[in-house]
A and B are shown apart, each in its own frame.
Chain A
């Protein structure tokens, strides 16, 4: 199985900050990487697929990059609605696997 490791597990940031979350795969997954946002008590929301493609309706302040084993999610200017937990997921092969999540909190 492909293991996905996210870092950090949590971070504190201020409104307006630029935030970067990293995700590392245990083997080459090409660009088969997705990012999700989840707020407490809600279903996940899909943000990015194919490592860098924005899902429909997702604002351009979110961006993704990387290929192979190392990936990043960047939020260019953090807003109050962006405080949430973020997950990466590989879909290169079954079983699909998620990273452990990164909780973005208000500083």
Chain B
């Protein structure tokens, strides 16, 4: 089973400042088709999770362009260029390369 390690566990942020979360995989998530099979999700308080980034770097429909995903192989990063108050919640990376999906443990983003 592929293990995803997210850091940090908790991230206090200042509105208007940038923020980043990393996700490290125990195995390469690069498919032979050249795509990285990693997504990023945000679960806001009291809501269902929502898709932010899919296949490593593709922003989902309706997601603000302050969110971006990067990385390849085993190391991935989610960046928020300028944090807004509505960005608080728990962020998860997820991989679906093999026949078993796994999630990172989550990063809780809070406003300072």
A and B assemble together: no
Q: Which residues of A contact B (CB under 8 A)?
A: none
Q: Which residues of B contact A (CB under 8 A)?
A: none
